[in-house]
Amino acid sequence: MIYGYARVSTKGQAKDGNSLEAQEKALTAAGATQIYKDAFTGTKKERPELSKLLAVVKKGDKIVVTKLDRIARSAIQGMEMIDDLLSKGVSVHILNMGELNNTPSGKLIRNIFLAFAEFERDMIVDRTQEGKAVAKANAQAKGERFIEGRPEKFDAMQIENALNLLETHSYAQVVKLTGISKSTLIRAKKRKESGE
């Protein structure tokens, strides 16, 4: 039997043909009759649908994935998984690489591509860390507080004005006047009181 496996890092991912729908279409075109799908980052080892797939495959079956990084992002994890599958007589077909097997040239190609997948993931992590460091330095240079993640909806002056209003108004009144949520005001007030 030919099984397909598709994975996205988040349910909304649809970049570079990596959406679940795009992967499913390619896997079906490659002959997959049953497709398992996960929405978990590739760095996580436990992926429920992949675990189900690995539990049902048997000798003579084939697993098809669109790209190597869909099934594994770490060279060690990928090598272990693919070697285990091949030793059980299960072939692995990666659509943008070809079919992996136990021949010396097949092993060499597998090792090279797995190393590149891990290198690419490490480079993404490095670029993300560098971007955060630059954003933090820029925020500090402007005298602003750096908060990782989504940019804040309100600037420091708006928050400060809202906190000043809290001295004479209720939370409900300040929320109505400023549009700043009660939870944001409570967090800002705690930060101010703790001297952050």
What is the per-residue pLDDT across 132-154, written as a single tens digit (0 to 9) for each? 888 888 888 888 777 776 666 78
Rg (CA), the chain: 25
Q: In whole angstroms, what is the distance from residue 20 CA to residue 67 CA?
A: 12
The band of 74, judged by pLDDT with boundaries at 50, 70 and 90, is low
Given a contact cutoff of 8 angstroms between Cβ atoms, the answer to whether 13 and 67 are in contact is no
pLDDT recorded at residue 186: 92
Average pLDDT rounded to a whole number, residues 42-55: 80
Q: In whole angstroms, what is the distance from residue 189 CA to residue 179 CA?
A: 16
Q: Return the SS3 of 115.
A: helix
Residue 165 confidence (pLDDT) above 80: yes
Average pLDDT rounded to a whole number, residues 160-183: 91
Residue 92 confidence (pLDDT) above 60: yes
| Rounded percentage of the chain residues whose pLDDT exceeds 70 | 87
Residue type, 16: D
Average pLDDT rounded to a whole number, residues 20-47: 85
Q: Which of 51-65, 105-119, 127-141, 177-191 has the highest mean pLDDT?
A: 51-65
Average pLDDT of the residues of the chain? 84
The band of 122, judged by pLDDT with boundaries at 50, 70 and 90, is confident
List the catalytic residues.
Answer: 9
The band of 25, judged by pLDDT with boundaries at 50, 70 and 90, is very high
The band of 105, judged by pLDDT with boundaries at 50, 70 and 90, is confident
pLDDT recorded at residue 22: 92
Q: Could you tell me the strand order of the sheet in which 91-94 lies?
A: 34-39, 2-8, 62-65, 91-94, 98-100
The band of 11, judged by pLDDT with boundaries at 50, 70 and 90, is low
pTM score > 0.75 for this model? no
Q: Which of 122, 100, 117, 118 is nearest to 109 (CA)?
A: 100
Burial (CB < 10 A; 0-12, 13-18, 19+), residue 63, is buried
